[in-house]
Structure formats: structure tokens, C-alpha cells
Amino acid sequence: MPRTGQPAIRLVGSVQRAFAVIDALADADGELGTNEIARRTRVNPSSVSRLLATLVAGGLVEHVPETGRYRLGPRFVQLGNVVLARLDLRQIARPHLHALVESTGETATLSTEGDRDAVTVDFVQSPFSVQGVAQLGRPSIAHATATGKVLLAFGGRPLPPGPLKSYTNRTIAKRSDLAAELEAIRERGYAYNFGEREDDLHAVAAPVWGSQGELAAIIGVQGPASRFDRDAMHAAVEPLLEHAHAVSLELGWTALVPQAAET
């Protein structure tokens, strides 16, 4: 038979019934017995019994001896971790970066946690001739950038040690002021940068969550202050949060409540 590069059209009935059993167990609040699974799947009990035996042997379903009932097995956790480990963050996020550029007109960035600061790992440039500066590997100063403040607010990082350097007259250089700013960021879910790292650069950034509710990445939008003013930044928040949420879901986030970083 010639190869088409596509899955076969005909499906295997027994496998479909096994999926139905798995779905029934996944939807249940607790354990299920054979007859209850048969009722939910509309598969006869003898077939359900054989399917359960096969799924138990493969570790996908677990038999509970104390109750004689069944629940999903630990192999799903192992398989889920394998899938999540193979996900390419940049590949997942890039369409969303393009969409952000299209909706805001400004440069969209993707950053991840570095040794000290967040580091840019991908970006899509604005179509305008005057653009926000974005470079692969460029660190986002923790207390002086929107991306850096998201890392401090949600990444479990302590405040930077020692005096805070002022890069412009808008940099938050007092530790008490920065602590208050981070608390406000946690409450609203995103961070602003109004010329705090560079006079003519404004930015807004939001967290991307991983499968365990951890900070997996940071998506930002940045542009020159003359064009990306406060009104434009506020308008960018909604699409930014939508795409950060979408990337989080693709990374396996299940709407767990993220734990705020301690300061």
C-alpha cells in the first residue's frame, strides 16, 4: 500500500472503546466499578472487563483492591511529562507573537528565566521603521523592565540585592516602592514599563504559566514612547493577556492558581 503521510481512515473499534473507558474514568469524581463504566460508555460489561484488564496491564488504569473499582493509572502522568518535555516553547509562542504584532503594531517578545534576569529567547519586530529594541539573549533588568518585573512578581525571585540602579529618572530605585509595584502587578496580572530602562522605550508584559502553575515564560509588547504611549499600552493589554493565556494552555496549564512570589 502506498504511503500517503496521513493516518488511516478506518478506526479500530476496540481501541475506540478503550478510549471511551479512559474518558469515563477521567470524567468521574472518584473510582468507578465495571458496571458503572459499562453504563456510561454503553459498552457491555464483559467487554469493559476485558478492556480494563488490558488497560491495567499497561499501567493506564489502576485497580483498587480494597474497593474492586478502577481509576486512571500513574502512567498517564509519565506520558504527560514526556509530552510536556518535548513541547517547543518558541514554536508554540511564535504564532502568538506574530498575532500580537498584527494587533498592536509593536514588537512582541518572548523571554524565559535566566541566571539573574529574564532573557529574550524570541521576538517578532514591529513593521514600523522605528522599532523597540529586541535582541536574542538580551537580559531584561529585573527592576527596570516590564518583563523583569513579571519575573520578580511571579517567578519566586527575591528583590535584587543591594541598591537598585537608576537607568532613567523613572526607574523605581527604592526597594519599598518596588515592593509595592510588584504587589500591584500580582493583583492585576501584568506589568508596565514607562521609560524605566530606556527613556524612549515603553513596554507591557504578562506571565505564561506551565503545566504545574509555574512561571514558564513571559510575553511582552514594546515600542517607542512617542508611539506606544499610555493609551496604546492600555489597548495592548487585552490581546497580550489573551495570547499569554493561550500559550499557557498549550503548555499544559490547567488554570491552577499561581503562587505569588514572596518579597
Count Cβ atoms within 10 A of the Cβ of residue 37 and give its class: 0-12 exposed, 13-18 middle, 19 or more buried: buried
Multiple choice CATH, 13-82, 1.10.10.10, 3.40.109.10, 1.10.357.10, 3.40.50.300 = 1.10.10.10
Q: Is the pTM of this model over 0.95?
A: no
The stretch 114-138 carries a mean pLDDT of 77
Question: CB count, 10 Å around CB of 195?
Answer: 17
Give the torsion sign (CA, 181, 186, 188, 194): positive
- pLDDT of amino acid 197: 92
- pLDDT of amino acid 171: 94
Q: Is 208:219 a contact under the CB 8 Å cutoff?
A: yes
Among 68-82, 112-126, 230-244, 249-263, top mean pLDDT goes to 230-244
Reference 152, options 122, 108, 195, 117; nearest CA is 117
Assigned C-alpha cell, 145: 523592565
225 vs 167: CA distance, rounded Å: 16
Does residue 229 register a pLDDT over 80? yes
Sheet containing 107-113: give its strands across: 139-140, 118-124, 107-113, 215-224, 201-209, 191-194
Reference 114, options 143, 157, 84, 77; nearest CA is 157
What are the angstrom distances between the C-alpha of 135 and each of 47, 132, 183, 233?
A: 59, 10, 29, 21
Taking domain 87-250, whether its CATH number is 3.40.50.300 is answered by no
Instruction: Among 4-13, 84-93, 113-122, 242-251, name the one with the lowest average pLDDT.
Output: 4-13
Q: What stretches of 87-196 show up as alpha helix (H) in DSSP?
A: 89-104, 146-154, 175-188
Confidence of residue 130 (pLDDT cuts 50, 70, 90): low
Start and end residues for every CATH 3.30.450.40 domain found in the chain? 87-250
Does residue 260 register a pLDDT over 50? no
Tens-digit pLDDT profile for residues 162-200: 889 999 999 999 999 999 999 999 999 999 999 999 999
Percent of the chain exceeding pLDDT 70 equals 87
The terminus-to-terminus CA distance of the chain in angstroms comes to: 63
Does residue 221 register a pLDDT over 70? yes
The stretch 226-235 carries a mean pLDDT of 94
Start and end residues for every CATH 1.10.10.10 domain found in the chain? 13-82
Question: CB count, 10 Å around CB of 246?
Answer: 17
